[in-house]
Each structure stands twice: as C-alpha cells, then as structure tokens.
C-alpha cells in the first residue's frame, strides 16, 4: 500500500504526545504537495530559503503559519520578518540584533529561537554551548525589545549512533532549562525546544522536544 501525505500525518499525530507541535518542512516541495498536507489539516510549515517561502506563501492559504528554519543572512532579514511566524535559526548575536532593528522599524515584534550547535559536524550553524555565558551576560541582548526569544533550536549529528543523538538532544534541553531558570523565569513565552527531524524525532520527544521539524516523514 502506498502512503499518502494524509496517511503520514495521521500516523504522526497518533505517535506524538499532545502539546508537541509539528512543523512540516516543505522546502523543495511544490505548492501542490504542500496543499495536500494543508488539506489533511497541517497548518505549520517550515522553509529554509527566504525567496522560496515568499513565493509559496503567495500561492497558498493565508491561515498557514510559516516558520523560517534555515540559515538567515542579515541582508534578507528585512524581507522575511513579516512573512514568518517564527525564526528558528538565530545563530549569532549580530543576526539577532539585525532582526531587532528591522522589527523595531516596522513596529512589530518577532518570535525567535536561539539555534545551538549541538552536533559534532562542523558545517552546522549555531551558538556553541560555551557561548551561553556570553549570551546571557550580554546586556545588549536584554535591551532588544522587538524580538521575543521563545526558546532554542538544534540539529543532532547525522549518524546511526542513537545514543550520541540522545546526548546531543539532552544537552539542548539542558541549555533550555538553564536559560529558562536563570534568565527567562518570568517569561512564559520562553517555552520552545525545537528539535527532532525525520530520522530522530522519537528520541527528541523522549528528551523533551516541544516542536518537531519533519520533512521526509511527511512528504515521502
Ligand atoms: C530539512 C530540514 C529538516 C527536516 O529534515 P527531514 O530529515 O526531512 O525531516 C528539519 N530541520 C531543518 C533545519 C532542515 O533544514
């Protein structure tokens, strides 16, 4: 039996505890394909390129919540901030400041996640765990009034070693707890841990994910 996108979504919903949200990662998929997921009830979609997100957004229903999950260049910030509900991939203070600046100019606030580099691969973007102290002792950060820091995001190493993946997710969850208890105690908005992709989302759930980013699991 071949599985449709609707079948996949139904299976996933049965598998995951309520309260965990699914971002359907639709990069490289056509609007028609995305529409299939939409018709099956999916409302949150993730894209990793600014241009692609904007084009698809124009072609699809406007109750879709678009999340930006890819590396964001500072010169694209102005274009994306009003189009995406949440930016998962804030990987430097410079980028965060740029988002804040453009958001302030547009008189909006932008929901953001701090992306941490938890994998052992060198190519992935993000803050290092060692950066946390720098981040939280940065007075500048606390003065950014046009961004809402809603939590953290990370990608585990692409490997069959599931214990390694588990340790990486556990580290990210710890980073979240540390930031929460030390710096966002009085901020209920700081509540998201975006981790888990098609190959590792079950482990991510066990380690405290609140948002899964699933591409292949839904679209193939
Ligand atoms: C592509 C991508 C995903 C989804 O990956 P799958 O393995 O297809 O589920 C999740 N997060 C990010 C940042 C991605 O670029």
State pLDDT tens for residues 201-211: 999 999 999 99
Choice from 88, 213, 214 to test ligand 1 binding pocket (greatest atom count within 8 A of CB): 213
Residues in the chain, how many? 220
Contact status, residue 5 vs residue 33, Cβ threshold 8 Å? yes
Q: Residue range 112-129: average pLDDT?
A: 88
Tokens matching residue 143: 């003065």
Supply the pLDDT for residue 135. Answer: 80
Residue 147: which region, alpha, beta or left (left: phi > 0; alpha: psi -120 to 50)?
A: beta
Is there a contact between 126 and 91 (Cβ–Cβ < 8 Å)?
yes
Atom of ligand 1 nearest to the CA of 219: 8
Q: How many CB atoms lie within 10 A of CB 165?
A: 23
Residue 124 has pLDDT above 70, yes or no: no
Q: DSSP letter for 141, please.
A: H
- Could you tell me the pLDDT band of residue 2, with boundaries at 50, 70 and 90? confident
pLDDT tens, residue by residue, 3-30: 999 999 999 999 999 999 999 999 999 9
Average pLDDT, the chain: 95
- Alpha helices (H) along the chain: 5-15, 31-39, 50-59, 77-80, 93-106, 132-136, 139-142, 162-183, 201-206, 216-219
C-alpha 60 chain-centroid distance? 21
Strand bridging mode 86-90 / 110-116: parallel
Work out the number of other CB atoms within 10 angstroms of the CB of residue 200.
23
What is the position in ligand 1's atom list of the atom closest to the CA of 23?
Answer: 10
Q: What is the pLDDT of residues 132-153, one digit of tens each?
A: 888 878 888 888 999 999 999 9
pTM of this structure: 0.96
- Ligand 1 atom closest to Cα of 197? 9
pLDDT above 70 for 117 = yes
Mutate which of 23, 25, 123 to test ligand 1's pocket (most atoms within 8 Å of Cβ)? 25
Supply the pLDDT for residue 123.
67
């Amino acid at each position: 039996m071949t599985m449709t996108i609707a079948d996949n979504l139904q299976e996933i919903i049965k598998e995951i505890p309520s309260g965990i949200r699914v971002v359907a990662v639709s990069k490289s998929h056509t609007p028609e394909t995305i529409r299939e997921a939409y018709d099956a009830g999916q409302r949150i979609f993730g894209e990793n390129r600014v241009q692609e997100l904007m084009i698809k957004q124009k072609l699809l229903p406007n109750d879709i919540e678009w999340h930006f999950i890819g590396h964001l260049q500072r010169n694209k910030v102005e274009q994306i901030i009003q189009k995406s509900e949440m930016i998962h991939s804030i990987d430097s203070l410079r980028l965060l400041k740029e988002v804040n600046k453009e958001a302030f100019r547009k008189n909006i606030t932008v929901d953001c996640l701090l992306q941490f580099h938890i994998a052992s691969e060198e190519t992935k973007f993000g803050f290092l765990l060692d950066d946390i102290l720098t981040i939280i002792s940065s007075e500048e950060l606390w003065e950014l009034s046009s961004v809402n820091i809603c939590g953290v995001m990370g990608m585990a190493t692409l490997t069959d070693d599931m214990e390694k993946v588990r340790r990486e997710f556990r580290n990210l969850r710890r980073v979240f707890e540390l930031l929460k208890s030390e710096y966002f105690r009085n901020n209920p908005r700081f509540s998201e841990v975006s981790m888990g992709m098609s190959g590792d989302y079950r482990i991510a759930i066990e380690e405290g994910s609140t948002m899964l980013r699933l591409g292949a699991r839904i679209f193939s």
